[in-house]
Structures are given as C-alpha cells and as structure tokens.
Amino acid sequence: MSYKLGEYLRELRGNRSLREISKLTNEEVSHSYISDLEKGVSRRGNIIKPSPDKLLSLANVYHVEYRKLMELAGYQTDETSKPSNITPMSSSDLIDVPVVGTIKAGPNGVAFEDYQGTEVVMTNGLDISYEYFYLIVNGDSMIGDGIFDGDYALIKKTKEFNNGDICAIIVDGEEGTLKHITRSDDSIVLTASNTKYPPRIFVGDRMNEILISGKLVRTMRMF
C-alpha cells in the first residue's frame, strides 16, 4: 500500500475522531483499522493491504471516489472490483444532533444545559420531521434496560408516547430524568428499571409538574 493513501485518509478525516469515522461506517471499519491505514502499517509493523469493501465504506463516508482510494492502495481498478453488498451513503443520510448533560424546562419547552457539542447520527430508522438530541445518562436507574451511566440516549423531541415507553422527562421544571412513563386520567407514574429505585407517582395537581421532553429512540455507548 502506498503511504499516499494514509496521508490522504488522514487529510480527509480532519478534526473528526477515529471512532466517529468508524461509527459512520456502521463500524464496518474499526477505529483501529482506520488508524493503521493512516499510518500505512499495522501495530505489528506489517504493511497493510486494505480490502476493497473497507475502502468503499470509507469512500462513502468521506464522499470521495472509490476508484481513487483503490488506486492509492495499489489496486488495478475496474467496475468488477466494487463489492456488491455495500449501500452508498450520502450527506442526506446524516444529521448533527446536540449532546447535552442536563435538560430543564425553558421558555420554548426544553432548555439544554451543559451543552457538549454535536454528534453525527445516521438517519436510518429515524423520522427526520422531528428534532433529536443526545442526553448523557447519569446514574444507574435504567440498568435493567441495558442503559448505563455515561451512555448517550438519543431522544426524539415529542410529547407523544405510549404507556411504558422510556422518555426524557423534566420534573418540576428542573430535574431531567430518563424513565418509563405510564399515564392515566388521575396519575403519572415514572418507573426505573433498577429495582432499588421505587416508582414515583404524581397525582392531582402534581401531574402538572411533569414535562415530556422526548421519547428514547436508541442509545450509544462511548469507549
């Protein structure tokens, strides 16, 4: 492999992290593999001959010609060398969503506190007519659902939910929490999935203390 490929890939990545690029490939290309490609050698010092399918995934993420990456890697390029099991990805398949550590009630419904930048999210499975944000999970109250401290919870901004859904909820304007929610005519119950935390029940006027800021769509764990 020509080291020109590594230099080119490093230039294309810019300020984005290796893990971010790996995530954009649906982790078809690991962050360590991308690092090796940029260096031109593996961690054991071996020269790398990148596979065409990995190069195609990177070409889709960086929006560059697949043929150019193949040529820099030393391949003789023709249409038959292109893997058939890779779906090209365009910029319309990606959105930026804000990452926040805390949510509170604000003048427009939800105020983002402890803003930590944005993350790129693939739109597959998302209704992009809605807005989304990442809420960083704090604590262990939802570990029964496999949601752990420090996980990123992708929230769709909506007040609509079905009983039992996991939602991002603001209590009394101040406390943002991620819980299962059940609503009836005379009560709202917030339930954790860790049994050491009892359900919180709001009745009568206290039901007005609850603001639904959004519904959990998926979670992401950072390593």
Instruction: Give me the active site residues, please.
Output: 141, 179
The C-alpha angle 180, 189, 197, rounded to 5 degrees, equals 70
Neighbours of 189 (CB within 10 A): 16
Neighbours of 155 (CB within 10 A): 26
For the four alpha carbons of 19, 13, 5 and 64, in that order, the dihedral sign comes to positive
Please name which of 216, 211, 23, 21 lies closest in space to residue 133, comparing C-alpha atoms: 216
Residue 106 in tokens: 């604000």
